[in-house]
């Protein structure tokens, strides 16, 4: 848990430079709230207090990462109650919860405070010379997220707002674009994910199947409605990388069998594209993961390895 949280620190540091110090404050409030709710919940339920295992702190970081940087500090506090007390402990506690706690907290906030969760975006600060050299796309960025602009204005409005060409890919990959606190930098998120794979904490099956499905289906069905069928933009424009690497790979709510993981990832990717194309929200990775969470044990049951044994003497 602590290693995963450490891998998320570089994107958090970048978010401070991109959006301002309020991202650090929101993340700190989220982590403290999740740890406090964890301790209180375990105390009320008569369970041993296990806040030192890092699970609550990691949930706090992930919850903050899927919140817009301009929201009130009250939102992560309320999200922590939903994520830890209801989504985690009332559903069995660590190791038994059905849904990813951080995403359940985000879904609750999105349903309860839809205006704040869909409009409290901030434009990137123009305080780093390295980003200004990336091209005109860095100067054209407004506070609206790429997928929100695409949903409302189509590809023409998207290109007018964010530019085009190699500079567009560069700014999006580095993370110089509007979005939730921790979802913008594909580069840093992927580097952290590669380190977790190197250490053996996660495998490649879920991230690759999620991102590959999003890219493939966006290319096939996207057209003008979804990044003009550009698979790379479809992956970089929202929270797909954060969801695929850090959310969908949650040990408790994801399958353990490799074939099951591939199908689980394909399901998440397909639902993400479906929600982006036909749903009311511009981004779909959050609900896609939550919808697939209950199916993880089902998929493991379908592809449970068969045991073979030689008959013992006297067996019929």
| Full pLDDT tens readout for the chain, 316 residues | 889 999 999 999 999 988 889 999 999 999 999 999 999 998 988 888 888 888 899 999 999 999 999 899 999 999 999 999 998 888 877 778 889 999 999 999 999 999 889 888 888 875 444 444 444 444 445 567 778 777 777 777 777 777 776 778 888 888 888 889 988 888 999 999 999 999 989 899 999 999 999 999 988 887 655 666 688 888 888 889 999 999 998 888 888 888 999 999 999 999 999 998 888 788 889 999 999 999 988 887 887 766 655 555 555 5
What per-residue confidence (pLDDT) applies to 30?
A: 96
What per-residue confidence (pLDDT) applies to 47?
A: 86
What per-residue confidence (pLDDT) applies to 46?
A: 86
What is the 8-class DSSP label of residue 204? S
Whole-angstrom distance, CA of residue 123 vs CA of residue 177: 7
Inter-residue contact 34 to 57 (CB < 8 Å): yes
Instruction: State both tokens at 298.
Output: 């089902």
What per-residue confidence (pLDDT) applies to 152?
A: 74
What per-residue confidence (pLDDT) applies to 74?
A: 93
Q: Which residues contact 189 (CB under 8 A, 6 or more apart)?
A: 11, 182, 183, 241, 242, 245, 246
Selection from 40, 88, 39 nearest residue 62 by Cα: 88
What per-residue confidence (pLDDT) applies to 175?
A: 83
Using the structure block, give the residue that is written with the tokens 């003009």: 228
What per-residue confidence (pLDDT) applies to 316?
A: 53
Angle at 148 (CA atoms; ends 110, 218), nearest 5 degrees? 105
Inter-residue contact 237 to 146 (CB < 8 Å): yes
Where along the chain do its domains lie?
2-119, 129-302
Whole-angstrom distance, CA of residue 36 vs CA of residue 52: 12
């Amino acid at each position: 848990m602590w290693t995963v949280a450490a891998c998320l620190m570089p994107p958090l540091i970048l978010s401070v430079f991109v959006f301002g110090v309020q991202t650090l404050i929101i993340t700190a409030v989220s982590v403290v709230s999740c740890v406090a709710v964890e301790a209180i919940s375990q105390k009320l339920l008569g369970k041993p207090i296990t806040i030192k295992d890092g699970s609550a702190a990691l949930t706090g970081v992930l919850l903050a990462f899927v919140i817009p940087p301009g929201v009130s500090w009250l939102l992560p506090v309320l999200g922590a109650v939903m994520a830890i007390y209801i989504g985690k402990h009332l559903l069995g506690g660590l190791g038994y919860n059905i849904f990813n706690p951080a995403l359940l907290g985000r879904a609750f906030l999105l349903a309860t405070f839809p205006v704040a969760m869909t409009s409290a975006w901030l434009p990137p600060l123009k305080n780093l010379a390295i980003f200004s050299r990336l091209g005109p796309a860095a100067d054209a960025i407004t506070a609206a997220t790429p997928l929100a602009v695409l949903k409302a204005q189509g590809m023409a409005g998207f290109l007018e707002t964010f530019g085009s060409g190699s500079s567009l890919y560069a700014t999006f990959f580095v993370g110089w674009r509007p979005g939730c606190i921790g979802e913008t930098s594909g580069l840093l998120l992927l580097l952290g994910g590669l380190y977790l794979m190197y250490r053996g904490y996660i495998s490649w099956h879920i991230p690759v199947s999620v991102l590959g499905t999003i890219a493939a289906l966006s290319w096939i069905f996207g057209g003008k409605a979804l990044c003009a069928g550009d698979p790379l933009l479809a992956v970089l424009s929202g929270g797909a990388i954060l969801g695929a690497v850090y959310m969908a790979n949650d040990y408790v709510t994801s399958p353990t069998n490799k074939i099951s993981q591939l199908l689980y990832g394909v399901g998440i990717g397909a639902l993400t594209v479906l929600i982006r194309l036909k749903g009311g929200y511009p981004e779909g990775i959050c609900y896609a993961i939550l919808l697939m969470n209950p199916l993880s044990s089902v998929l493991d049951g379908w592809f449970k390895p068969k045991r073979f044994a030689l008959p013992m003497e006297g067996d019929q």
